Amino acid sequence: MRWPDVGFAIWHEGKLVEQWRAAGSMSDEALARRLGDVLGDAFVQNSVTVEHWSGAVHVTGRAGIPDAARSRPDHQFCYVNGRFVRDKVLTHASRSAYEDVLHGHKQPVYALYVEIDPARVDVNVHPTKIEVRFRDSREVHQAVRHAIENALAAPRAAAAAAAAAEEAARTPELAPAAPATAPKVAAPAWPQARMSFGDEQGGHKVSNMAGLWAPMREAAPAPVALPAQTAMQAAGAAEVAVDTPGVQWPAGDVPASYAPAAQPQPAAVSEPSPANFTPPAADTPAAAEETIWPLGRAVAQIHGVYILAENAQGMVVVDMHAAHERIVYEQLKNAVNAAEQIPSQPLLIPATFAATPEEVATAEAHGDTLQALGMEVSPFSPKTLAVRAVPATLAQGDAVELARSVLAELAQHDASTVVQRARNEILATMACHGAVRANRRLTLDEMNALLRQMEVTERSDQCNHGRPTWRQMSMKELDALFLRGR
Ligand SMILES: [Zn+2]
C-alpha cells in the first residue's frame, strides 16, 4: 500500500491468489488504484484525499468518510517514512479527528502516510520496527489530526455530483433522464467542483474555501424564520451561489450558466416566484442551472421530516432537522472561534420559569460561561430564573427550553473548565434547539435555502450525532427498483 509503483503477485500452493499491478509512482491516482486493489473499491469510493503540511510533517493518504466506518479497527493503516507502523499517537490523532462527525463505537477507516525528518523519529524502539517514537509527539498528533479534519470538513455533495457527471459523460447511456442537458451539466459541474474542493494535489484545503461561506453566515435563515423573510433569504442564498464577491471564480472557469450576462432569465434567480419552481422544460437554461446544484431543487417535504429534491443524478432525500442542526452547530462554533463569545440578543421581555435549586445554582456558578455562549440567565426570585438574552442565531426558538437544556449540560461540567469537548457538546445541544423541528411545514424556498447552505457548510454531510444528513438515489437505482430498462 505504500509502494503502488511495485507490482505484487501472491502464489499459494502453486496458485495465483492475488495480483496487484504496478500503478505508477506514488500519486493520488496510483494510490487510489493500489488501495482499491488491496482494500476494495468501496474503500476508495468512500474515502477522501488527505494532503496536509504542518511544519515539517507531511501527511498524505486517504481518510474514509464517516459512513464507511466499521465495527472493528481493521482498516486503519499508518506509514511513517515509508514503513508500516502501529502507533498510539497516530491512532489517537486519527480518532480525535473523527470526534465531531463519527459518534459511538464505530471505527474509522484510513490509510495515512506520514513523512517526517528522520532525525525527529526513532525507528529503533522495537525489534521488528513496527513501533516508532516521535521526538515531539504533539507535533505529529496535531499534523495528523488537522490533516484528517481538513479532508473531512469539505461538504461532499459537489464532488459527488461532479463524479457522477463525469461518469455520465463517459457512459452516455447512463446519463440522467434528460439526455439533452446531460453534456451541459457535465461541463460546468467540473470547474465548480475544482474551484471549491480541489487543489493541485486533489486535497481539501479548508482555508482556501473560507470565502465560500463567509457571506453565507449573514444570509443564514433564522431557525424558524417567517416565510416572507426566508423567501428573501432564499434569494440571497441563490445569489451567493451566483455572484457573491467572496467567491472568486477562476477567470477561465466560469460556467456559462453562472455568468449573469448569459442568463436570459435573471429574475428566476434573484426573485424566486412560483414559476421558478414549476418543472421547467428539460432544455431551458433554468433547468441546466438548477441541475448544477449538487443537492438539487427541492420538490416536496415528506411527513414533516424529510426534504425530497431532484438533482442531475436523480433523487436526494434530506433529513431536515439533522441537516439544519449541523448548519446551526457550525455557525455557533464559528462564532465562538471568531469572537470567543457568541453574538447575543437581549429579550425584550425576559422569559421566566420556575427553576429547581440546582438550576439556580448552576446559573449563578456559570454566569461567565453562559455569557460566552451568548446567554444571560439570572435569578428573578429565589425559585424563578429569568432568561434575559439568547444567542442571536437562536433568537426565534424557545428561550426557556434552551436555557433549561444548557443549564442541565453545564451542571455536568466543572465551572472553571468548560473545555473544547464540553463546549462542543453544549453548542450541539443549543443547535438541536435552534434547528427546525419535525412537522414544521417548510416552503420550497426555505427547503432550497437549506439545501444551498448544506452545500457550503463544513461537515454538513453528517449531523451532530454522526448520522448522514442526506442520501442520493440515482436514476440507475430508481430504474432498478422498477425493473426499467431490462
Ligand atoms: Zn436534534
Side-chain-side CA neighbours of residue 205 (13 Å): 14
Using the mean position of ligand 1's atoms as its centre, give its distance from the Cα of residue 464 in Å.
Answer: 8
Using the mean position of ligand 1's atoms as its centre, give its distance from the Cα of residue 433 in Å.
Answer: 7
Using the mean position of ligand 1's atoms as its centre, give its distance from the Cα of residue 430 in Å.
Answer: 9
Strand (E) or helix (H) holding 296: none
User: Dihedral sign, CA of 55, 57, 61, 62?
Assistant: negative
* Helix/strand number for the chain, H first, E second: 17, 16
Give residue 75's pLDDT band: very low, low, confident or very high (50, 70, 90): very high
Using the mean position of ligand 1's atoms as its centre, give its distance from the Cα of residue 59 in Å.
Answer: 34
Report the pLDDT value the prediction gives residue 415, as an integer from 0 to 100. 53
Cα–chain center distance at 15: 45
Using the mean position of ligand 1's atoms as its centre, give its distance from the Cα of residue 371 in Å.
Answer: 23
Report the pLDDT value the prediction gives residue 48, as an integer from 0 to 100. 94
Q: What is the mean pLDDT of the chain?
A: 77
Domains and their CATH numbers in the chain: 46-153 (3.30.230.10), 157-323+442-459+468-481 (3.30.1540.20), 341-434 (3.30.1370.100)
Using the mean position of ligand 1's atoms as its centre, give its distance from the Cα of residue 452 in Å.
Answer: 20
CA dist 54 and 77 (Å) reads 20
**pLDDT top residue among 274 and 300:** 300
Residue with cell 453528517: 462
Using the mean position of ligand 1's atoms as its centre, give its distance from the Cα of residue 274 in Å.
Answer: 31
In DSSP notation, 107-130 reads B--EEEEEE--GGGEE--SSTTS-
pLDDT greater than 50 at residue 205: no
SS3 content of the chain, % helix, strand, coil (to 5): 45, 20, 35
In this predicted model, what pLDDT tens digit does every residue of 228-262 receive, in sequence order? 444 444 444 433 333 333 333 333 333 333 333 33
Residue 60, classed as helix, strand or coil, is: strand
Angle at 255 between CA 254 and CA 261, to 5 degrees: 80
CA dist 43 and 63 (Å) reads 9
- Within a 10 A sphere around the Cβ of 5, how many other Cβ atoms? 13
In DSSP notation, 146-163 reads HHHHHHHHS-SHHHHHHH
Ordered alpha helix ranges (H), 179-265: 182-197, 210-219, 227-243
Report the pLDDT value the prediction gives residue 369, as an integer from 0 to 100. 86
Report the pLDDT value the prediction gives residue 44, as an integer from 0 to 100. 94
Using the mean position of ligand 1's atoms as its centre, give its distance from the Cα of residue 397 in Å.
Answer: 13
Highest mean pLDDT among 237-251, 256-270, 466-480: 466-480
Cell of 39: 482494500
User: Dihedral sign, CA of 193, 199, 203, 206?
Assistant: negative
Burial class (CB in 10 A: 0-12, 13-18, 19+), 173: exposed
Residue 295: partners with Cβ closer than 8 Å, 6 or more residues away: 157, 309, 311, 316, 318, 451, 452, 454, 455, 470
In this predicted model, what pLDDT tens digit does every residue of 329-380 receive, in sequence order? 999 998 888 877 888 999 999 999 999 999 999 999 888 889 888 999 999 9
Pairing of strands 76-80, 110-115: parallel
pLDDT greater than 60 at residue 175: no
Using the mean position of ligand 1's atoms as its centre, give its distance from the Cα of residue 92 in Å.
Answer: 28
CA dist 286 and 265 (Å) reads 8
Using the mean position of ligand 1's atoms as its centre, give its distance from the Cα of residue 100 in Å.
Answer: 15
Using the mean position of ligand 1's atoms as its centre, give its distance from the Cα of residue 167 in Å.
Answer: 36
